[in-house]
Amino acid sequence: MLHVKVKSKEVSFSIPVPYMMLNLGISIVCSNMLQRHINKWSKEYIEKKNIPFIIPPLDKAVLKLVVDEIKNHNGLELVNIKANDGSEVRIKL
């Protein structure tokens, strides 16, 4: 399970994210329909800035392999950010 912890002066909360939710998110982000919409929504900006670029499709199989490998590294801290104002973000497996 992925644990996201956010702390600031006013509020502090923790969000547990099960690996099943990560796999569901990967399936949604990698869907052909969403990829078509992303390319359609970004097409106007890309043409406006004259950038010859199309967002490549994401490979669901590779991302699922990444999640499977992450499961083997429990306790690993992916992100640990502390700001000068005392706010903090931590993402831990």
Q: What is the mean pLDDT of each run of 10 residues along the chain (93 residues)?
A: 91 92 88 83 79 76 88 90 92 92
| pLDDT, position 13 | 93
3-state secondary structure the chain: CEEEEEECCCCEEEEEECHHHHHHHHHHHCCHHHHHHHHHHHHHHHHHHCCCCCCCCCCHHHHHHHHHHHCCCCCCEEEEEECCCCCEEEEEC
| pLDDT, position 34 | 84
